[in-house]
Chains A and B, each alone.
Chain A
């Protein structure tokens, strides 16, 4: 590893972040957990531990995907949201409720609905973006642009379906269209974890090339990187990561913009291993703290995505207005 002054202080930052995540986790598990009564405490933990794990997995998937995506596009203010995965998720759910009804097994059984989300989103996204890549001669910006168009395309179909839908059905549907870290069962958690681990394993070589990819296409090729193949694989990895996170908790990838940028701002490095780890930790701290506030201050009245959107929006404006030079 290159030794220079930029690397000093990493340890401290990571130590701080880890401590923050641990503190938030502990607070989340213990606040108002009725510790005096072992049975109530056990019950509280039984509910909270899976939620905590879900938040951590989602933070890792979203943070990692955002960092990778930004580095591929070479722009700090893009998020994988732009690929249209959120709208695709909404569309899939709306279509299921619309065509088979909210009472059907597919909509009620969370395992099944998770599997369907993942399969449909994974396959469609792999197919669409893989095809787009070939068609546009590996032009990442075109893919981004088409992703934005697809996003409104899916959004339009979804809103058309919603318009003709039975209002009661819509009411049930709405719950699944808002990000939610509760009510995810352990089977799904384990499966997501395995899937993400497999993804990281298969992409480990491509991830190692990310540092070089950020130098730009010409430099990457000059240094002997098979640019097109690497970027294609990484982009599919991003799409699958987001698919896992979205299928698990709903549309939250806007969060990626915030945590990826905070990580970049704190770490000021080009080493992606650090950046991804940093983004994941920042994400965990943010989501867990958000959930804590949501549960205990607002008593579940305000969905966590409200915080994410408000916080994300403000941070986005801050990036645009005050950080021009670095974007």
Chain B
């Protein structure tokens, strides 16, 4: 998937300004940057949730606007931050929605199998008949990830998946992200606020500042003292743990 000269304006204010990059296949790519840098908007545009003003997004060689929405849903899944369901929905029912692009509301045996697999992959067997609104934040997030797994897409887009989670659940979430890539071979694109999660769990990092790409490269290339200070306008120190650069800021 590649993105070329993407532009988005809100009321004349340019929030995404001629952004171009290529998403490396089978890797974890994190989009980082200060608030309002446009990373979530870029994510929204490449997942067709937000309409772009100009630019081209190519997905498997074909313009994303020319894809049939339902076909695209079999290739690309997005999970946003705001998921409040008003309905009485059990975990299993939610996960079953992941099969919607394939079978509509009539589930086949194969669908049931995929749902079972997704549920056991996220270790939700004990919760599968509980209602979504009765779960804790961490469990709910896992249920949504299970739905994305059931959707069985090559590309998975997650908008701030660690938001509102405590350290335990957040780091578990990041390990899951890594597993999605390493074990299931998916291409994962994340919007993240925690630089260290991005540094520790992703392969590539794309840093945004003021709607433009400030840095794009491997973790080692991007997470340096100079780069981060420039991006966030805060003093940084970089230390190395497990051969990964981790940042300290204050």
Contact = CB atoms under 8 A, between A and B. Distances in A.
Interface string B55-73: 0000000000000111111
28 contacts: A1-B107, A4-B90, A4-B129, A6-B90, A6-B93, A76-B86, A208-B104, A208-B105, A214-B85, A215-B83, A215-B85, A216-B83, A216-B85, A218-B49, A218-B78, A218-B80, A218-B82, A218-B83, A219-B80, A221-B49, A222-B79, A223-B101, A224-B68, A224-B71, A269-B87, A269-B88, A270-B88, A270-B89
A219 B86 CA distance: 13
A169 interface: no
B3 interface: no
A212 B84 contact: no
A222 B73 contact: yes
Interface residues of B, number: 38
Contacts, number: 80
Contact of B96 (A2, A208, A216, A225): A2
A263 to B, nearest CB: 12
A270 B93 contact: yes
A74 B86 contact: yes
Interface of B: 47-49, 68-74, 77-80, 82-90, 92-93, 96-98, 100-101, 104-107, 128-129, 133, 151
Classify the secondary structure of A's interface with B.
Answer: loop
Contacts of A269: 87-88
Contacts of A2: 92-93, 96, 107
Interface in A216-236: 216-219, 221-226
A5 interface: yes
A13 to B, nearest CB: 14
Query: What 6 A-B pairs are tightest by C-beta distance, nearest first?
Result: A224-B73, A224-B70, A270-B87, A224-B101, A218-B80, A268-B88
